[in-house]
Amino acid sequence: MMNMTHSKPSYISQGRVLYFGMTGVLSRMPLARLLAEGVKVVGIVLPMSALPPYLLEDDGRSHTDPAIPQSSQPDSAIPLTPPDVLQLAAQYRIPVTAVRQINHPQFIRQVAQMNPELILVSCFPYKFHGNLLDLPRYGCWNLHPSLLPHFRGPSPLFWTFWEGQNDTGVTLHQMDAGLDTGEILKQAAYHLPDGISGPTAEQQLAELGGQLILQTLADLADDALSFRPQPAGGSYYPLPKSDDFRLDTSWSARRAFNFMRGTAVWGQPYTVEVGRKKIWLDTAVSFLSDQRQMEPIIRNGRTVSIQFNPGVLTARENG
């Protein structure tokens, strides 16, 4: 992890930031870090689907209830699991807007009235168009949990596990009309240890991402921003489907183990075909990198050992 060595630049206390995100840790933790460091967040925008129905007004906008108790001196320490976005909004007295169509003229006018100098985005599901991209003085920055141009799209960590990659990271980039294609501001690498869960990986990447944003804000204050185009190539992946939870015995046992551990939070059963047999798996138990067993499948109650190439995966069968 990176260490924050700079003093708080004037931009962090004076600039007007509008934050777009969701309720998960990849949105919560960077937001909590920014607020603890004194970044002036003038509003938070969430997709309407992310808010409880009782908070929504007919026009799709809702604001924090002023009656909710507020902390006059928020604690600067960031817990491992920070409060959810609505709790942070209440604590720091930040208005929250729920939106269905971010490119609707009415919403664009609402954003213009907030007069943000910068829009920060982390895990927001809607694509920005030109009118919104052009509003802030410093543009729109997006935090993406992969090393772009690799693993563009809405679920990069899932596909990182699916591809059997252990080296990943986070990218802060300037947004453009494409999907995760804008110029890179900063990147930081992160190594996924064997067996790490998806939520733990997200938490680590979110913490790293918050630090990237603060470092880039410091660069902005010092008039030292640097941009570089994304390298050619890269990859784009859509949202996973149920078929994407299928294992292949041509994979290494290590890849199958890490994929199951990393994506277990999705709550989907895993299937693998061994010869003519289709097996449904629930939980990865262990793997042996170079083991060869006498039979392709060896069962011990609900526990099954399956030969991969190379290695053996031990897992529990579903149901």
What is the side-by-side strand order in the sheet with 297-300?
A: 246-247, 270-274, 277-288, 312-317, 303-307, 297-300
- Burial, 236: exposed, middle or buried (Cβ in 10 Å; 0-12, 13-18, 19+)? middle
- Using an 8 Å Cβ cutoff, are 31 and 56 in contact? no
pLDDT-wise least confident of 1-10, 31-40, 133-142: 1-10
| Residue 299 dihedral angles phi and psi, to the nearest 5° | -105, 145
Give residue 14's pLDDT: 63
pLDDT digits 0-9 by tens, 186-236 = 999 999 999 999 999 999 999 999 999 999 999 999 999 999 999 999 999
What domains sit in the chain, N to C, each tagged with a CATH number? 10-221 (3.40.50.170), 242-317 (3.10.25.10)
Query: Residue 152 half-sphere exposure, CB side, CA atoms within 13 Å?
Result: 16
Is this model's pTM higher than 0.85 or not?
yes
Residues 2, 230: Cα–Cα separation, whole Å: 23
Task: Give residue 24's Cα distance to chain centre.
Answer: 8
> Would you say 317 and 258 are in contact if contact means Cβ atoms under 8 Å apart?
no
Three-class SS state of 91: helix
- Which stretches does DSSP call E strand in the chain? 17-21, 41-47, 96-99, 118-122, 140-144, 167-174, 184-191, 246-247, 270-274, 277-288, 297-300, 303-307, 312-317
Residue 304 has pLDDT above 60, yes or no: yes
